[in-house]
Chains A and B, each alone.
Chain A
Amino acid sequence: MPEPRSGQLGSLASSLASGCLPGEQILAWAPGLRKGLEPELPGILICTNFRVTFQPCGWQRSQDTPLSSEYDFSLVNIERLEAMSGLARVQLHPGSQLKFIPEEILIHGRDFRLLRIGFEAGGLEPQAFQVTMAIVQARAQSNETQQYGGIALSKAGQGSGFRKPPIPLLETLEDWEMELKKQGAKGWRVSTVNERFDVATSLPRYFWVPSRILDSEVRRTFGHFRQGRGPRLSWHHPGGSDLLRCGGFYNASDPNKEDIRAVESMLQAGHSDVVLVDTMDELPGLADVQLAHLKLRALCLPDSSVAEDKWLSALEGTRWLDYVRACLRKASDVSVLVTSRVRSVVLQERGDRDLNGLLSSLVQLLLAPEARTLFGFQSVVQREWVAAGHPFLTRFGGTGASEEAPVFLLFLDCVWQLLQQFPAEFEFSEFFLLALHDSVRVPDTLTFLRNTPWERGKQSRQFNSYTQVYTPENSQSPDGNCINVQLSVWDWDLRYSNEQILQFHNPGYDPEHCPESWFPRQPNFMVPGPPSSMWLFSRGALTPLHQLCPWRDSPSLLAVPSRWLSRPATSSESLADQEWGLPSHWGACPLPPGLLLPGYLGPQIRLWKRCYLRGRPEVQMGLSALTISGLREELACLQELLRKWTPRVFPQDRCEKRDPNTFFSQSQ
């Protein structure tokens, strides 16, 4: 590390070390000037073995938020590094050499952020060179060895020894039991058959299966599905329907009659009406998503060469919005399937780890007002993505180039579309989605850095021992208290200050729109015997199925991969289309309360500008959103004033009642 030259810089440098995480080393630093945003900000550019940080002068890293969402660029997040000097502009790949002293460097993030640092002249050029080269090398190393696998955060170790996760992480039996109870799914129970991850490593330790099915049956039947991912309950609709998800049928297996019956009754889940949804149909494949995202990133670069008047067709050319639209459309269809009658709807995807998660979470957002709260949304993501084994690491390119596909980001974009279509229905704001969007590559927690719950669990053990609060694997003490210090992405205060977290709340959220319950909850029908109607939902239409599983009748059917039954050409298309096709079909009949039907027309699908165009100088913060929060603050302030003056007379305020948990308490 170079010697600081002046007293001022020296004091800055000494403050650098204090902001470091355990195990973090400062590789190089140089004073610089952040450009592109007015006013230009002087500070220090630091490269460590974990991240690149720009520390503005006078900014102190707070002990409470060891990471900064604004100034940190984790190494994996860096997509492109460019150095400029005069007119020369060079892109620096890992391993490449810099041949001049840079006047300015540009760091393009994979999350669409851009950091532009100009270096001052005046004897500090060597430092500018060093820091640039340090970034190049650090990137190369971080690419080689996945060494960022979990930083033990000082706060977690030292602070309160027991830290309750902000949302149930679904790693304990209690979490699952509780969640099941909350959903009111009577015919279901938590299965512990995968407690040792021996049914499937990609499945969570616990999941929900129909009460009548024995664990031994579960074990047997799951073997007939790809990667052992058999049908599990995703969400129970208060109206009685169940949303299930499972992997594709494993065609090579040859189940006996009993197994088939078990598979069928698991799919049937006690309903007489079963719809299999072919998830992959009409939705983009992994490669498509990846390609579209790459194109979108290229288009949104600040120096993208697309002319203004060709922008729209270029945007169309990325196909990203097309995919967003396809997802919304399918989610809308499925949510109609779930609400329109009591049935079991099974989402079936070959791997059951990507689009199934996307679809089932979107459907829940559309159907359940609870899922649209901050807490509920985080729980849904935790359940349908993290616990369900979405391979985050692979999909974000952590394990090599192949199979990289930002499915999760596609999901976030879909949620954003919902947010802007229904601005009063969601408790969280665009800023929350942005925060989540940016978190996928931040190496602070394991949430998004492992492919399966199993890997996450393994790591978490090391993790715990590292911070010297090691507890054995099954660490439930008898009273049900779990001493698990694992931090998750949901511990927002690691990266976000309180003011930022306040912005996660949507000021326009109208909790009155959130009905207590749907209609009177119906008892679960448990229909003995085989289901009386079976359907395949594919291409926007319902097709009758003669059997749920592909194995039963003739062996020739085994050859047909996922759509084992050829669809009758015209049979029921119109019928299904009428029932499930367009939102306008609800006509004069009011929508069931709580159900949102999103628009997915061309003009309604928009570009998430505040996310994708962040690197551009012209994009700025929200306008009306701030005004609404201003209004809301005024409201809070007035209420406070009134309460002070009339402590007893004034009853609990209406606004407070509606929104007890968050806003005002946090602001104090």
Chain B
Amino acid sequence: MLGKGVVGGGGGTKAPKPSFVSYVRPEEIHTNEKEVTEKEATLHLLPGEQLLCEASTVLKYVQEDSCQRGVYGRLVCTDFKIAFLGDDESALDNYETQFKNKVIGENDITLHCVDQIYGVFDEKKKTLFGQLKKYPEKLIIHCKDLRVFHFCLRYTKEEEVKRIVSGIIHHTQSPKLLKRLFLFSYAQNNTVKKLEKEKLASTQKEIRNSCSSVLGTVPELFSLRLPAYFVVPTPLPEEDVKRFQGHGIPIWCWSCHNGSALLKMSALPKEQDDGILQIQKSFLDGIYKTIHRPPYEIVKTEDLSSNFLSLQEIQTAYCKFKQLFLIDNSTEFWDTDIKWFSLLESSSWLDIIRRCLKKAIEITESLEAQNMNVLLLEENASDLCCLLSSLVQVMMDPHCRTRTGFQSLVQKEWVMGGHCFLDRCNHLRQNDKEEVPVFLLFLDCVWQLVHQHTPAFEFTETYLTVLSDSLYIPIFSTFFFNSPHQKDTNMGRESLDTQSKPLNLLTVWDWSVQFEPKAQTLLRNPLYAEKPKPDKGPRKGMRFKHQRQLSLPLTQSKSSPKRGFFREETDHLIKNLLGKRISKLINSSDELQDSFREFYDSWHSKPTDYHGLLLPHIEGPEIRVWAQRYLRWIPEAQILGGGRMAVMSRLLEMMEEVQDLQEKINERHPSQAALHAETRHAEASCLLRNSARLSSLFPFALLQRHSSKPVLPTSGWKALEDEEDLAKREDDFVDLGDV
């Protein structure tokens, strides 16, 4: 129990008002202090990481309902993270440490992960920013991964408080220059890891190999947003592409097996000048003429910036939604708990998810059932375009549901597609208004699919959760640039000056940086229904698939009656693009609604093919809260021995047994071996087996397991009991709990 102070053992119950009072008397602190410093863990610094400031004798509260207990330690702030160094963590069980993140410890907060900082002054909670006149006695940090930390500074020396609080505030909240990101100093100093070949190269090659016969590529760097290579329709003249810096040209995203393609296009800049408008109009006319020639004759346009979600909506909804999970104290939690469903609904986050899924189904329907090409149109084609095109691909292409497939999807559509991760995550703290969790929204949409159709995905929800956390770890280059162009210029890739050391960048996809191999098994879905391979010859079914998808029908195969209808639509679109907004676009018409409904219903009434088209349920009861991500730090939400983990461990065990038996059979009857050639990964099971009862929050909230509170408040009982033997028996009984 060293280093742990039990404060105010008999505090109030679910007290009506939140209490931040600590009952520790200074004397108690001083007696503990020596031991604390001796036992304290050492600070592990990453290559290039520098210690900026620190404070000792900080009390980190263990978040619990009534009594305020805590652990003493040192609070430090580096240029990478805020870390609390409490007592050493040898107390952890073995199996739990195996799942620890190697980069971010449980008491570490990367600077980019900090969401809000509050200070408590005389029991009043205030947001902290800028220069402070007065320093708080308690610091509350809300993290973007929804952890909440409470640090009591009452027993810390004043100058240390000043230094640490202003240090933390400065380094997490003041605007930063891109070059100042920890990413760069890490990359310069990290010599251990060898340079990771990024997947993008292969992605590009893949695209080029498979598409060049049909579509053209523009190998020219001309836009700040676009990647170096992308695919445009062949008939499009090269100079058109360059004319508006990449705006106003359709870019190929993906082709469906029947040949219909998903395209995206960023809107032309809005101009007041009539002359320019005329030029834009004729340019667009030209573009539409091009893409309305065979084989692109029917194109349906989805204007995402005018009649779909706005980024503002997403931002507001998420802000409300996350408040439901950022819990300062249990009292508050229980208060909101009663109204859980209505609070959830009023945040409308789930509704936004539903709308995204619905839109993706609509697009899928156009591609799949109506054989139409779909053009997504958005201001920069880098937010909802990314979201929808990748959602559509997850739903339509089984390859995107594998780990490698999903990874290259994110690389292709988001990283290379120019999603502004830097702005949307507000990594540089330059503009809070730009901070919109679009990528998180995408992950949440994918989670709904994973949850509803588990066997169709090779990855688990843990994979998605861990991926969402990696957004804020500035040692990976993946999510720290606004565009591939920005990355290239800042990494000095094209300028070959050798005076600086080569930057050693890591990608998020290298999971071994964060997790031990054993922990990585949690990212793989043991229930994944792998596609039965037809024969052993071509091992890569993927390439084969792409060829098939890209065989565009060059003949007139599409039904002609619909043609006039969609012609009309593009007229609408052009008007729309030129600023004359027409609120009711074609896709709100009844006909499309009906065909959507029909498509949706007929798909769901058939048995699911996990290797084919996959549609989510979007009815009210079916859209759910991503409990693993949002509830994982809340101790009250812990179910010991329950939750999905319980089934998972059982599953892994069974898989191992199957594998075992198959091996035995193969040994005895080698002829049978061919039949059962497909043995699956079951090496993970031994990990989970030794732990009798895992918490439902596993593998995330290791935190709660430490809290040791007297199970029975024996003092209170003894006072009320008169018989001595009774008291003795009671003590016996308490011990039994530990057996």
Contacts and interface: CB of A to CB of B under 8 A. Distances in A.
B344 interface: yes
10 contacts: A38-B605, A513-B693, A579-B712, A584-B64, A586-B711, A591-B737, A597-B639, A601-B634, A609-B622, A642-B664
Interface in A571-599: 572-575, 577-579, 581-592, 596-599
A469 B692 CA distance: 51
Task: List 6 tightest A-B contacts by C-beta distance, closest first.
Answer: A311-B620, A602-B340, A38-B605, A316-B341, A588-B708, A424-B646
Interface string B100-114: 000000000000000
Interface in A314-338: 315-316, 321-322
B669 interface: yes
A589 B706 CA distance: 9
Contacts of B351: 308-309
Interface in B615-665: 617-622, 625, 627, 630-631, 634-644, 646-647, 649-651, 653-655, 657-658, 661-662, 664-665
A309 B739 CA distance: 49
A273 B721 CA distance: 10
Nearest to A541: B13
A507 B423 CA distance: 47
B350 interface: yes
A572 B605 CA distance: 57
B21 interface: no
Contacts of A586: 640, 711
A589 B661 contact: no
Interface stretch (A399-407, A480-488, A620-628): A620-628
Contacts of B453: 623
A588 B64 CA distance: 13
B452 interface: yes
A578 B66 contact: yes
A667 to B, nearest CB: 16
B668 A312 contact: no
B736 interface: yes
Contacts of A508: 646-647, 650-651
B608 interface: yes
Contact of A609 (B621, B664, B669, B721): B621
Contacts of A425: 641-642, 646
Interface string A164-194: 0000000000000000000000000000000
Interface string A218-245: 0000000000000000000001000000
Contacts of A239: 736
A638 B617 contact: no
A641 interface: yes
A655 B453 CA distance: 28
Contacts of B704: 584, 587
B709 interface: yes
Interface string B683-718: 000000000110010000000111111011100110
Contacts of A592: 736-737
Contacts of B655: 631
Interface in B712-739: 712-713, 716-717, 720-723, 726, 729-730, 733, 736-739
A503 interface: no
B529 interface: yes
A37 B606 CA distance: 9
A533 interface: yes
Contacts of A341: 712, 729-730, 733
A520 B496 CA distance: 75
B338 interface: yes
Contacts of A313: 341-342, 345
A504 B657 CA distance: 23
A100 interface: no
Nearest to B346: A313
Given A311-B620, A572-B716, A628-B647, A599 B639 contact: yes
A312 B644 contact: no
A603 B654 contact: no
B348 interface: yes
A422 interface: yes
Contact of A617 (B338, B601, B654, B737): B601
Contact of A613 (B621, B635, B657, B707): B621
Contacts of A38: 602, 605-606
A422 B711 contact: no
Nearest to A544: B720
A665 B671 CA distance: 29
A604 B639 contact: yes
A585 to B, nearest CB: 6
A94 interface: no
Contacts of B41: none
B654 A631 contact: yes
A59 interface: no
Interface in B295-319: none
Given A316-B342, A575-B716, A591-B693, 19 more contacts: A312-B344, A312-B620, A421-B643, A422-B641, A513-B693, A578-B10, A586-B640, A589-B708, A599-B639, A599-B642, A601-B634, A602-B340, A618-B617, A620-B604, A623-B452, A627-B455, A631-B655, A638-B658, A642-B665
A582 B635 CA distance: 10
A624 B526 CA distance: 11
Contacts of A583: 636, 638-640
Interface residues of B, number: 97
User: How many of chain A's residues touch chain B, expressed as a range?
Assistant: 35 or more
A91 interface: no
A308 B351 CA distance: 8
Contacts of B11: 574
Contacts of B670: none
B646 A631 contact: no
Given A38-B602, A641-B665, A584 B620 contact: no
Contact of A587 (B602, B668, B709): B709
A577 B14 contact: yes
A462 interface: no
B474 to A, nearest CB: 31
B723 A422 contact: no
A423 interface: yes
Interface string B327-354: 0001000001111111011001011001
B585 interface: no
A421 B635 contact: no
A425 B693 CA distance: 11
Interface string A604-635: 10010100010011101001100110011011
Nearest to B635: A584
B646 A603 contact: no
A58 B66 CA distance: 65
A30 B11 CA distance: 71
Contacts of B709: 585, 587
Contacts of A316: 339-342
B640 to A, nearest CB: 6
A60 interface: no
Contacts of A599: 636-639, 642, 696
A639 B661 contact: yes
A581 B696 contact: no
A601 B337 contact: yes
A532 B604 CA distance: 63
A423 B620 contact: no
Contacts of A573: 13
A64 interface: no
Contact of A607 (B618, B621, B642, B720): B621
A58 to B, nearest CB: 20
Contacts of A598: 639, 642
B711 A589 contact: yes
Contacts of B657: 635, 654-655
Nearest to B672: A641
Contact of B739 (A424, A519, A581, A641): A519
A632 B647 CA distance: 13
Contacts of B12: 574
A342 B733 contact: yes
Given A308-B618, A583-B636, A533 B721 contact: yes
